[in-house]
Amino acid sequence: MDASNSSRNIMETVFQTTNDVHPSSDEDMSHQRNCAPRCRDRLREFTQETTLHGIRFTTDSKSNIYRRLMWVLFVSLGTAGVVITLKDSAIRFIAQPVTTVVEIHHPNAVPFPAVTVCNYNKYRQSVLAGTWAEDLLYKMYGSPVQGEIGEVDWSNYTDVITNLNRTAFEMEAAHQIEDMLIACTWSSETACGPENFTNVMTNYGVCYTFNGDVKNGLTVKNRGSMFGLYMVLDIEQHEYMPGVSKGAGVKIMTHTQTDVPLVNEVSMSFGPGMDSTIALRLHQTKLLRCTNQPLQYFDVYSRANCEMESFTLAATKSCTCREPYMPEESELSCESACQEVIYDSTISYGSYPSLQILKKIQLMRNITEAEIRENYLAISVFIEDLTVLSTEEEYSYTYDAFLGDIGGQFGLCLGASLLTLLEFFDFLMMSLCGACRRWYNRSRKQ
């Protein structure tokens, strides 16, 4: 009997030890069954304590099932409303809409623009007479005698064009400012001359710029034609050659000192026998969708400067050559500059010269009235108003407004705030930490 009881005790001890080392599946199932009620209790406790409006009625044990379902519907509708409105607000914020603010300033002085003058005619007949260039122009654009465009055999000009210094050729063949400028005054009192003009290569040929110095630009403290630039020009029609332009006169462009003059695109045209006035008003713009990327061959970024570099690259890739007015190779994507200065212009015309001035010019220059009418013109460039129109873009839907919409929608639909979101975050973190702690304790027991 004693031996039988001893054996039974030993087996029970071994069985108990085995159960301690390897818990049975029944114990695991019991743990899982106890976990679900615990989670439900924690969730119910959280919904009763959170500041999110209405959610406590969804788990209120004192309410019947219909009332709880009704509040589940209300909370769901509020959540859907928040999601929809926040989606619209996010799309609007990403789009970054802007408003334009217009202001008028009254500075003591206004910067005077650079004034670029170009003759319609690119090459003088006296320079090209009897040369290959005259023959080529007649074949390309028609002879004044025959009036027909001939066939151009480019192989006859290959050698001379290959060895040609285009810049030097253009400068020599173009109309000279010393011959074109008959009279010039600045601010009605100061005489100006060819020395006040700088020759510049443009996409229209050789031109001349007044007030082109970036560091020493002129300013105007008074408005009106008495305080601007006045020029009398001789277009020298007897020097005209066949070319792209079929008219006679000059092109005038006003621009900032830092901008390259795109005369072929944005200049104004004036013919002989006219007394023209260009009244300017300064307009400053500040943009948000813009760039100020550095340029390789210009000190200041502007769209005109950027387009010139990009056009140069396209020409270089196409024919491995470039026009004299082009800078060296550069590849850019041109956008609007963040700050731009624009001179809005108003043009008016009169007849030039008057009979009195006509007689005076005839005596001084020893030329006929017909020659004066066919070649002379007067141009006055001045600031018409010292007020500066400033246009600035501002974001109409800012980050603060976006946050305000988020808070307003959460408060209106759910009665929630930022602290309410932190409550949900705290609940999730504490639940996760509790689950990790229980898993760790079970692992140690095993």
Q: Is 423 left (phi over 0), alpha (psi -120 to 50) or beta?
A: alpha
pLDDT tens readout for residues 202-221: 989 999 999 999 889 999 99
Neighbours of 230 (CB within 10 A): 19
pLDDT tens readout for residues 389-417: 999 988 888 888 998 998 888 888 888 88
Per-residue pLDDT at 148: 55
Q: What is the CA radius of gyration of the chain?
A: 42
Per-residue pLDDT at 292: 80
Predicted confidence band at 6 (pLDDT cuts at 50, 70, 90)? very low
The residue to which tokens 């460039």 are assigned: 381
Q: Is the pLDDT of residue 236 over 90?
A: yes
Q: Where are the alpha helices (DSSP H) in 336-389?
A: 355-365, 369-375
Q: Is the pLDDT of residue 5 over 60?
A: no
Give the Å distances, CA to CA, from 269 to 231, 246, 355, 371.
15, 13, 24, 20
Neighbours of 393 (CB within 10 A): 16
Give the Cα separation of 147 and 71 in Å (integer).
Answer: 92
What residues contact 121, with CB distance under 8 A and at least 6 apart? 175, 235, 236, 237, 239, 240, 241, 243, 245, 248
Q: Is the pLDDT of residue 280 over 70?
A: yes
Per-residue pLDDT at 330: 47
Q: Is the pLDDT of residue 242 over 90?
A: no
Give the Cα separation of 17 and 272 in Å (integer).
Answer: 119
Q: Where are the alpha helices (DSSP H) in 320-368?
A: 355-365
Residue 311 near residue 415 (C-beta atoms within 8 A): no
Residue 118 near residue 263 (C-beta atoms within 8 A): yes
What residues contact 31, with CB distance under 8 A and at least 6 apart? 442
Mean pLDDT of 61-80: 89
Q: Is the pLDDT of residue 112 over 90?
A: yes
Q: Is the pLDDT of residue 8 over 80?
A: no
Enumerate the CATH 2.60.470.10 domain ranges in the chain, comma separated.
103-119+179-238+247-290+338-394
The residue to which tokens 């004034």 are assigned: 115
pLDDT tens readout for residues 303-345: 888 877 777 666 666 665 555 555 554 455 677 888 889 999 9
Per-residue pLDDT at 329: 47
Residue 150 near residue 264 (C-beta atoms within 8 A): no
Neighbours of 328 (CB within 10 A): 11
Per-residue pLDDT at 171: 94
Of 14-28, 109-123, 215-229, 282-296, least confident by mean pLDDT is 14-28
Q: Is the pLDDT of residue 296 over 80?
A: no
Q: What is the pTM of this model?
A: 0.70
Mean pLDDT of 80-95: 91
Q: Which fold has domain 103-119+179-238+247-290+338-394?
A: Acid-sensing ion channels like fold (2.60.470)
Backbone φ and ψ of 296, nearest 5°: -80, -35
The residue to which tokens 């010269």 are assigned: 353
Neighbours of 432 (CB within 10 A): 10
Per-residue pLDDT at 138: 85
Residue 290 near residue 338 (C-beta atoms within 8 A): yes
